[in-house]
């Protein structure tokens, strides 16, 4: 599979180079040259396939021939070493739990897959690769865990000071070894802007190999399509009209779900559930795409004012607004509504959600008003104990810490505070 830049000013490249470069030389995101739908026999036989078999069949066209089938099978088996259960709340609403991995967030899948791909590509390389990544919360911990001790790879994580939860911060600042955390005095958008600037800085790229582990990287983005298919497998015998409500920040996750649909996943619609950072919600009403400076909310992983992956969504729909709008609905909810939803989910269903899942739940509720025949699945993207201060304050119930969280709580935070791109550049060059 070859990949082209969505800015259309750089040469096409293969999967290996797209992963290592992260961004194309013309600043564009990479996109696969073709998408071949899976045969009907795959979907008809899906109940007889394991998660690893599903993942192998759905991803192999995007990574071949750079990764041999035998290696790819090992990569997906190691990536998917945990469960992806669907929990039914009532006849119309279920949740897909994506927090059973090592850092208890949905980004474990993409981070683990990318780390193993990069480790394979770098196994005989004497040159080090520096993974540079910005995080609004969960990406940092997932990338840190996924790349810990990977040969020939150094990881530098930028995160906005005071704008991630305590547990999220612990997960990205306590591992040491080949992982470094840079605490930025600013927003996630400031962190992301620094990362993008670094990729375009010849003074840096001429001296070191930089790559990104944000969802702009194809190896981080594409594997997220797996769990949409896992959810379909668990629900398709019970429900004909399955809709996904995806808490959306940088829009990589929902974009991956749309790629699953392009492969033939028989679902009809997606809901992008936003917090107050609602550029896409506004776009689908006005047809004006106007990124804005992000604002801080209790669903912090979605605090993104300029979602990078939306351009990929536009590419999927050939930049046809009506086609996009027929397949995507978007709603926006504020913190007060999110807190009310957390309480409602706990009170009505005895289920403890996190703030991001609560936003997804609200998207389901609004959509179902006009589509009562649908079964709506909201993605529970992180374990609720990663947001203890919010969750316990709302439901008034003490929550036990899972083993994965307990493992980092007693560790010492190690980070370096920076304010400008020049400080980042000096650190990298040193």
Q: Which residues have a catalytic role annotated?
A: 107
| Cβ neighbour number for residue 206 with a 10 Å cutoff | 7
Q: Are 320 and 314 in contact (CB under 8 A)?
A: no
Q: Give per-residue burial for 137-157: e unless 16+ CB within 10 Å, then b.
A: bbbbbbbbbbbbebebbbbbb
Burial class (CB in 10 A: 0-12, 13-18, 19+), 14: middle
Q: What is the DSSP letter of 86?
A: E
What tokens were used for 76? Answer: 């997906």
Which parts of 65-187 fold into alpha helices (H)? 69-79, 107-121, 138-147, 166-173
Inter-axis angle of helices 51-63 and 226-235, nearest 10: 140
Task: Write the DSSP symbol of residue 413.
Answer: P
418 contacts 183 by C-beta, under 8 angstroms: yes
Three-state secondary structure of 20-63: HHCCCCCCCCEEECCCCCCCHHHHHCHHHCCHHHHHHHHHHHHH
Name the strand (E) or helix (H) holding 184.
strand 179-184
Contact 51, 86 (CB under 8 A): no
């Amino acid at each position: 599979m070859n990949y082209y830049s969505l800015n259309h000013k750089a040469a096409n490249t293969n999967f290996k180079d797209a992963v290592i470069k992260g961004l194309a030389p013309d600043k564009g995101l990479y996109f696969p040259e073709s998408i071949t739908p899976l045969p009907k026999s795959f979907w008809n036989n899906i109940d007889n396939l394991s998660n690893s078999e599903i993942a192998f069949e759905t991803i192999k066209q995007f990574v071949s021939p750079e990764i041999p089938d035998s290696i790819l099978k090992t990569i997906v088996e190691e990536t998917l070493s945990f469960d992806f259960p669907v929990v039914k709340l009532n006849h119309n609403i279920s949740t897909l739990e994506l927090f059973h991995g090592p850092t208890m967030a949905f980004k474990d899948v993409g981070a683990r897959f990318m780390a193993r791909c990069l480790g394979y590509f770098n196994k005989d390389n004497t040159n080090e690769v520096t993974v540079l990544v910005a995080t609004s919360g969960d990406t940092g911990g997932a990338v840190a865990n996924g790349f810990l001790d990977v040969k020939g790879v150094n990881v530098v994580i930028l995160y906005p000071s005071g704008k991630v939860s305590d547990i999220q911060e612990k997960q990205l600042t306590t591992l040491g070894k080949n992982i470094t955390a840079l605490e930025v005095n600013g927003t996630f958008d400031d962190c992301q802007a620094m990362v993008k600037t670094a990729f375009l800085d010849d003074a840096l790229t001429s001296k070191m190999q930089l790559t990104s582990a944000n969802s702009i990287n194809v190896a981080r983005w594409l594997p997220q399509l797996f769990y949409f298919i896992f959810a379909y497998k668990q629900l398709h015998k019970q429900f004909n009209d399955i809709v996904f409500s995806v808490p959306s920040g940088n829009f990589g996750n929902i974009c991956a779900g749309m790629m699953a649909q392009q492969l033939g996943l028989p679902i009809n619609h997606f809901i992008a559930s936003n917090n107050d950072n609602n550029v896409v919600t506004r776009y689908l009403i006005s047809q004006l795409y106007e990124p804005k400076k992000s604002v801080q909310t209790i669903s912090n992983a979605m605090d993104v004012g300029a979602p990078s992956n939306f351009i990929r969504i536009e590419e999927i729909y050939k930049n046809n607004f009506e086609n996009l709008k027929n397949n995507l609905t978007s709603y926006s909810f504020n913190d007060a509504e999110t807190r009310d939803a957390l309480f409602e989910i706990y009170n009505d269903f005895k289920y403890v959600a996190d703030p991001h899942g609560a936003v997804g739940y609200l998207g389901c509720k609004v959509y179902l008003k006009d589509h009562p025949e649908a079964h709506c699945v909201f993605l529970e993207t992180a374990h609720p104990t990663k947001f203890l201060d919010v969750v316990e304050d709302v439901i008034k119930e003490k929550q036990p810490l899972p083993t994965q969280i307990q493992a980092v709580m007693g560790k010492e935070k190690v980070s370096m505070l920076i304010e400008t791109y020049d400080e980042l550049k000096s650190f990298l060059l040193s």
